Amino acid sequence: MAMAESEFADPEHGSGDVVAVRFERQTATTAGPDATPRPVSFERRELQLILNLYGRRVAEGEWRDYAIDFSPVKAVFAIFRRASETPLYTIEKNPAMARRQGAYSIVAANGLILKRGHELERVLRALDRKLRLVR
């Protein structure tokens, strides 16, 4: 897949000559059959949304640790109460599910999917509870 054709003046051939250079992005199809697929990862904006929620809950004293895992299938942000336990929640990004039920999901410790959707911000609302007045 060609990214762009770029033209520049070639100093060896004088200032009037122009040379066209073709750049190709390395993908699984151009890299050959032996190439391993790139892992799925969170983008900067997605990670910022997750870490903002995580920071608020750490300040409340509910969450204490996290782990991030990137695989060729999905990216996972696991949230722990203590590092020695199983994660309370995992926030997953699975691009294979993007056209169906949404790429983002929140999974509880027992494997139950709490929320799934196409927009991370809306999915994270399931974990971001608002303060209420208790009477």
Strand pairing class (18-24; 2-9): antiparallel
Closest C-alpha among 40, 6, 11 to residue 22: 6
What is the tens place of the pLDDT at every residue in 99-125? 888 889 999 989 899 899 999 899 998
The residue range of the domain holding 10 is 2-31
- The answer to whether residue 130 sits within a structural domain is no
What is the tally of structural domains in the chain?
Answer: 2
- The answer to whether residue 62 sits within a structural domain is yes
Q: Which H/E stretch holds residue 122? A: helix 120-124
- Are residues 50 and 89 both part of a single domain? yes
Q: Which H/E stretch holds residue 21? A: strand 18-24
- The answer to whether residue 133 sits within a structural domain is no
- The answer to whether residue 39 sits within a structural domain is no
What is the per-residue DSSP string for 56-82?
A: HHHHTTS--EEEEEE-SS-EEEEEESS
- Are residues 77 and 26 both part of a single domain? no
- The answer to whether residue 37 sits within a structural domain is no
What is the tens place of the pLDDT at every residue in 36-80? 778 888 889 999 999 999 999 989 888 899 999 898 889 999 999
What is the tens place of the pLDDT at every residue in 87-101? 899 999 988 888 888
Answer with the residue of higher pLDDT: 29 or 35. Answer: 35
- Are residues 15 and 65 both part of a single domain? no
Tell me what the mean pLDDT of segment 4-19 comes to: 51
CA atoms of 113 and 55, how far apart (whole Å): 23
- Are residues 115 and 65 both part of a single domain? yes
Q: Give pLDDT, residue 2.
A: 45
